[in-house]
Structure 1
């Protein structure tokens, strides 16, 4: 009787250890996944606001609208500078990535915009760049410069100052630049510009 009871208690103890270890392993993997993996939905939100029907746009807005129209449509706060609006990014990325969105104006017309993503975590930056590269290759045609595979090693490409350039059917464009800042942050900059003929034709 005592022998049977001891065997039963030993079995319960072993099972408890196995279940606890499995739980820790699961939570550890889940935490790593949360830190370094982004769903396609998150990055597709970014691309949907940037590329439509073969042309590049910014924040889903038409080019050459006035600064006040941008403020009204995006519900932004007026700034003292006539040439740009700077706001914090809102894409649901990991908190360690600092996001900045910049609207650039010329003669009170929206002519370009920038998404800036910065982090001091090189591993995080490398993983994010790799996932962005996969999605860009699905959404966009081949870039005019470099190879999209530079995003497979985004941290190394940032140290080398590499960049990619796409041009839309209307000559709008997007340039993705990788660099390391003076504060040793890894920076990915997406600069989206209005069609060249329209920009050259702006009237003063």
Structure 2
């Protein structure tokens, strides 16, 4: 009788451990899914700031405005360097992704800009790149170089230094570059440039 009772208690204990482990595994997967998944609305904010009506823009700003105009419109702090402004990005991405926004000026005119997204989490980088690729294929025409499918394996593409290039109807452009930094961070760089070589024509 005592042996039967002990076996029964052992069985209950084993079942409890299995159920608890399964629950932990489920919650872990759910947490990962929450961390690694972005909505079209979230990534759409990034694309809305860079692409409108067939042309590429930066932060929703017109090209060739002065540095002071950018500071006033974006409510930024003045910097000592005449050629760029560097600020922290604020897109609603996971905290593991470090965001940097760079405004580039030439002759006190906004001529290009860069979004830098870096993370040491290769799994997150791979999933984020894949979701970004899906949205880019919906919003933009086919890139002029490479294939947008390189974003399906963004972590591998970063190790190979792959990039994508688009050109707008006004000859503005956007280049997406994937790389791995010296600190072993995975980096996605979006460089958006005003129309070339006819920048002066934008004033008219």
Alignment TM-score, normalising by the size of structure 2: 0.87
Say which SS state the counterpart of residue 21 (structure 2) adopts: helix
In the alignment, the residues of structure 2 paired with residue 177 and residue 22 of structure 1 have an alpha-carbon distance, to the nearest angstrom, of: 40
Please, which moves more after superposition, 114-123 or 16-25? Answer: 16-25
Structure 2, unaligned runs of 5 or more: none
- Tell me by how many angstroms 1:4 deviates: 18
Please, which moves more after superposition, 124-133 or 8-17? Answer: 8-17
Say which SS state the counterpart of residue 196 (structure 1) adopts: coil
- Tell me by how many angstroms 1:36 deviates: 1.2
Please, which moves more after superposition, 24-33 or 142-151? Answer: 24-33
The verdict on how the C-alpha distance between 1:81 and 1:31 changes in structure 2, with shifts beyond 3 A counting, is same
In the alignment, the residues of structure 1 paired with residue 145 and residue 172 of structure 2 have an alpha-carbon distance, to the nearest angstrom, of: 15
Contact 2:133 2:152 in 1 (8 A): yes
- Tell me by how many angstroms 1:24 deviates: 3.7
The verdict on how the C-alpha distance between 1:8 and 1:100 changes in structure 2, with shifts beyond 3 A counting, is same
In the alignment, the residues of structure 2 paired with residue 197 and residue 170 of structure 1 have an alpha-carbon distance, to the nearest angstrom, of: 11
- Tell me by how many angstroms 1:39 deviates: 1.3
The verdict on how the C-alpha distance between 1:63 and 1:16 changes in structure 2, with shifts beyond 3 A counting, is same
- Tell me by how many angstroms 1:34 deviates: 2.0
- Tell me by how many angstroms 1:201 deviates: 5.9
Alignment TM-score, normalising by the size of structure 1: 0.87
Q: RMSD value over aligned CA atoms?
A: 3.0
Question: What per-residue deviation string (whole Å, max 9, x for no partner) do you get for residues 84-129 of structure 1?
Answer: 0000000011111100000000011000000000011111111111
Please, which moves more after superposition, 31-40 or 140-149? Answer: 31-40
Question: What per-residue deviation string (whole Å, max 9, x for no partner) do you get for residues 33-87 of structure 1?
Answer: 1221111111000000000000000000000001011001100000000000000
Find out whether 1:127 has 2:161 as its counterpart.
no
In the alignment, the residues of structure 2 paired with residue 170 and residue 203 of structure 1 have an alpha-carbon distance, to the nearest angstrom, of: 14
In the alignment, the residues of structure 1 paired with residue 21 and residue 180 of structure 2 have an alpha-carbon distance, to the nearest angstrom, of: 40
Say which SS state the counterpart of residue 159 (structure 2) adopts: helix
Say which SS state the counterpart of residue 3 (structure 1) adopts: helix
In the alignment, the residues of structure 1 paired with residue 24 and residue 43 of structure 2 have an alpha-carbon distance, to the nearest angstrom, of: 30
- Tell me by how many angstroms 1:144 deviates: 0.2
Structure 1, unaligned runs of 5 or more: none
Say which SS state the counterpart of residue 175 (structure 2) adopts: strand
Alignment correspondent of 1:178: 178
State how many pairs are aligned.
204
